[in-house]
Amino acid sequence: MSTHVNLQSATWFRPIVLGWMMLCALSGIVPVAMGADVLIVMSSDARPYVDAADKAERTLKGRGHSTTQVSLSDADLDSLSKRSGAVITIGGDAAARLAKVLPDTTPLYYCMTPLPDRLGLTRRANTSGISTDPDIETQIDLIERSGIHGRRVGMLYRESSESSRALRDRFQAALPTNWSLKAIDLDSTGSSAAKSIDALFREEIDIVWTAADTAVFDSALVKALLLRSIRDRVPLFGFSHALVRAGAPLGVGFEPEAQGLRVADMLHAEALGVHEPSDTQLAINLAALERIGLTLSSDLKKSAKVRFGED
């Protein structure tokens, strides 16, 4: 059973609240009050960002918070430089930008964000969030165990995106010494998906690696890349369960809505200084594996939490 207290009429409660707020101010703690306006800033209106933002918004509204959604391109940066209320960023570009614009005392919560340490988020005060960081070493191990011959990896990235460049650099650094990476910059082809994919498959590559990089991937590019990998019989390592379902032979994934829920939980709990990795699960598509003639080891098949293409 719960008891409702009318804080406006309970005059005895006001000194306690004021004292608590003063203590927070003196100690550097920035409370997120119930009913506070929460600003949700998306890097773009890409579908994964929208799904995460909508889930965060529904969750917070259900818990008494008021929210406003905006894309980074529509955000008033001058106003944000003076904002004190909590902000949620969806995507790496929004997180990187607002971490520089917002006052240090403003609570910042991020999700759908790669490499938060490289973006300075783990060093910023009053900041928490969930990354999309793939465990690259584990993924390389999965590729090694997959039975794919050769160690020449291809990927697409975008030089103009800080988070996309950081992801490329991290993957390059994690590769074993006898592996090579061919990274094609979409900006170098005028952002043409067709030209970028053609350039990638002109290289001698044994597998295409993808990650949850929305500076690169939209539905049209994903479809074109997948079709080309099937046509050329070059395996594609998918960044999502949906991509594996669509025809990538194997990959790992997470759900954007799950990230939206988790970041909303963090904000509601006023958790600051917490930086958590993404939940990822190995997925395989047995029909796609058969189509390209790739046979996985029995232990790798057993480790797949998600399986598609079974009779």
Contact between residue 309 and residue 288 where contact means Cβ atoms under 8 Å apart: yes
In the numeric block, the tokens 């119930």 are attached to 34
Contact between residue 288 and residue 247 where contact means Cβ atoms under 8 Å apart: yes
Mean of pLDDT over the chain? 87
pLDDT given for residue 13 in this prediction: 40
Q: Do 105 and 19 fall into the same domain?
A: yes
> CA 191, CA 171: separation in Å to the nearest integer?
22
Assess whether pLDDT exceeds 90 at residue 33. Answer: no
* Mean pLDDT confidence for 76-80: 93
* Mean pLDDT confidence for 168-187: 95
Q: Do 128 and 147 fall into the same domain?
A: no
E-assigned strands of the chain? 37-42, 66-71, 87-90, 108-113, 127-131, 152-157, 180-185, 207-209, 236-238, 250-253, 275-276, 281-285, 306-308
Assess whether pLDDT exceeds 70 at residue 4. Answer: no
pLDDT given for residue 263 in this prediction: 98
Q: Do 81 and 229 fall into the same domain?
A: no
pLDDT given for residue 2 in this prediction: 40
Residue 226: CB partners within 8 Å, gap ≥ 6?
236, 243, 246, 247, 248
Nearest to 116 by CA among 76, 89, 83, 77: 89
- Stretch among 15-19, 124-128, 163-167, 216-220 having the lowest mean pLDDT: 15-19
Q: Do 149 and 91 fall into the same domain?
A: no
Side by side, the strands of the sheet bearing 108-113 are: 66-71, 37-42, 87-90, 108-113, 127-131, 275-276
pLDDT given for residue 274 in this prediction: 96
Burial class of residue 41 (count of CB atoms within 10 Å of its CB; 0-12, 13-18, 19+): buried
CATH of the domain at 105: 3.40.50.2300
Q: Do 224 and 149 fall into the same domain?
A: yes
> CA 68, CA 303: separation in Å to the nearest integer?
41
Q: Per the domain annotation, does 6 fall within a domain?
A: no
Q: Per the domain annotation, does 5 fall within a domain?
A: no
Amino acid letter at 107?
P
Q: Do 111 and 144 fall into the same domain?
A: no
- Stretch among 33-37, 39-43, 123-127 having the lowest mean pLDDT: 33-37
Q: Do 248 and 302 fall into the same domain?
A: yes
> CA 179, CA 150: separation in Å to the nearest integer?
8
Q: Do 24 and 74 fall into the same domain?
A: yes
The predicted model scores a pTM of 0.62
Q: How far is CA 242 from CA 111, 222, 235, 250, in A?
A: 19, 11, 16, 11
Instruction: Identify which has the larger pLDDT, 163 or 174.
Output: 174
> CA 249, CA 264: separation in Å to the nearest integer?
33
Q: Do 148 and 239 fall into the same domain?
A: yes
pLDDT given for residue 23 in this prediction: 46
Q: Per the domain annotation, does 272 fall within a domain?
A: yes
Q: Per the domain annotation, does 202 fall within a domain?
A: yes
Contact between residue 214 and residue 187 where contact means Cβ atoms under 8 Å apart: no
Q: Per the domain annotation, does 25 fall within a domain?
A: yes
pLDDT given for residue 311 in this prediction: 62
Q: Per the domain annotation, does 2 fall within a domain?
A: no
Residue 232 structural domain: 136-253+281-308
Q: Do 214 and 303 fall into the same domain?
A: yes
The total number of structural domains in the chain stands at 2
Q: Do 54 and 125 fall into the same domain?
A: yes
- Which tens digits make up the pLDDT trace of 59-77? 999 999 999 999 999 999 9
Q: Do 70 and 204 fall into the same domain?
A: no
Q: Per the domain annotation, does 1 fall within a domain?
A: no
Assess whether pLDDT exceeds 50 at residue 9. Answer: no
- Which tens digits make up the pLDDT trace of 100-117? 999 999 999 999 998 898
Assess whether pLDDT exceeds 50 at residue 25. Answer: no
Contact between residue 13 and residue 6 where contact means Cβ atoms under 8 Å apart: no
Q: Per the domain annotation, does 62 fall within a domain?
A: yes
